[in-house]
Amino acid sequence: MQNIAFIGIGSNKGNRTQSCLDAIRACASWNRGVLIRVSSLYESEPWGYAAQEYFINCVIKIKTGEDAPGLLAFMQETERKLGKQKEFLWGPRTIDLDLLFFNQDIVDEPQLKVPHPFLHQRRFVLEPLCELEPSLIHPVFKQPVRQLLQNVQDNKRVYKIAESPPCCEQLLL
């Protein structure tokens, strides 16, 4: 298992925290990956479409032998199993998993973009990502994520609401 990936997790419908924890557990129990770290939970003002509930967000770091398309397929299946319902672009959803980074790979395919094309514009992604790995270099911008966070134009509110969830400690490596 040599590939390192960072996955953003978010929810703003139903029990937001529980949905995020369920997604973390699904990633931890995946037989093709190992959960390495989990950020704190953050409550975030919606980005893209403002007239909706705040999100609960976090970022996880995993190690996997799977390639990026295989990881994406797992993430989409996990969303389906957890009842993802997305009404429209950037609208409310019960669960959302985004592949943020996969090693230092740059992938530009119709169904897969890595690094995530909007991560450098989203405070709700950069805050938890910096908590996990502030020196991680963005392979396109050649800057550490801490610098991307310092320079982000996004002024949406992002609040840490809980340290890395206690239930996640037993799921880690």
Highest mean pLDDT among 62-71, 83-92, 163-172: 62-71
Q: Is the pLDDT of residue 77 over 70?
A: yes
Which amino acid, residue 99? Answer: L
Residue-wise pLDDT tens digits, 4-45: 999 999 999 999 999 999 999 999 999 899 999 999 999 999
Instruction: Tell me the average pLDDT of the chain.
Output: 91
Share of the chain above pLDDT 70, in %: 91
pTM score of the predicted model: 0.93
Residue-wise pLDDT tens digits, 111-148: 999 999 999 999 999 999 999 999 999 999 999 999 99
C-alpha radius of gyration, the chain, whole number: 15
Q: Is the pLDDT of residue 169 over 60?
A: no
- What pLDDT shows up at residue 94? 92
- For 3-169, give the CATH class: alpha beta
- What pLDDT shows up at residue 52? 86
Task: Give 162's pLDDT tier (boundaries 50, 70, 90).
Answer: confident
User: What long-range pairs does 160-165 form, CB within 8 A, spacing at least 24?
Assistant: 160/40, 160/41, 160/42, 160/127, 161/40, 161/41, 161/42, 161/43, 161/56, 162/17, 162/40, 162/41, 163/40, 164/37, 164/38, 164/39, 164/40, 165/21, 165/24, 165/38, 165/41
